[in-house]
Amino acid sequence: MTRDRAPRLLVVEDNDTNMMIFRDLLVTEGYEVREATTAEAAFAVARSEPIDLILMDVQLPGMDGIEAVRVLRNDPCTREIPIVAVSAHALAPHSKRALEAGCIGYVTKPIRSRDFRERVRSYLGSRV
């Protein structure tokens, strides 16, 4: 797949500080970044423009990130978009739940910038 634009990532994160960290890292990498602080706001973005990868915080106010992944997976508009879960919980049951909901990966906070950059690159894979 060739592209004539930078990869576009949608970051779903309700914490301002974390959002700033993601934005700085991703913009520095040359990606376009879209932001949402709730599941509902994320649905609106994902349905309205091409998104190459979603970073989904698991702990969100209202609908949580896992339920949001299920909604995105069941919507013909958004079901092809790869989603990576982001959570402060490193234990296996948490990552298992995210992968079962349809995430392609699981990243734990706090974010380590070098590792995170490499993982995002690999999640975008041949689509970049």
Q: Is 49 helix (H, G, I), strand (E, B) or coil?
A: coil
Query: Which residues lie near Mn ion (CB under 5 A)?
Result: 14, 57, 59
* Residue pair 43/12 in contact by the 8 Å Cβ criterion: no
Q: Which is nearer to Mn ion, 14 or 29 (CB)?
A: 14
Q: What minimum distance in Å lies between the beta carbon of 45 and Mn ion?
A: 17
Q: CA separation (Å) from 109 to 18, 31, 64, 69, 116?
A: 9, 20, 16, 18, 10
Q: What minimum distance in Å lies between the beta carbon of 89 and Mn ion?
A: 11
Instruction: Name the residue whose CB lies closest to Mn ion.
Output: 59
Q: Which is nearer to Mn ion, 38 or 59 (CB)?
A: 59
d(CA 3, CA 109): 30
Q: Which is nearer to Mn ion, 50 or 62 (CB)?
A: 62
Q: What minimum distance in Å lies between the beta carbon of 76 and Mn ion?
A: 28
Which residue, chain included where needed, has tokens 């349809």?
102
Q: Which is nearer to Mn ion, 59 or 108 (CB)?
A: 59
d(CA 46, CA 119): 21
Q: What minimum distance in Å lies between the beta carbon of 98 and Mn ion?
A: 14
76 residue type, one letter: P
d(CA 62, CA 113): 28
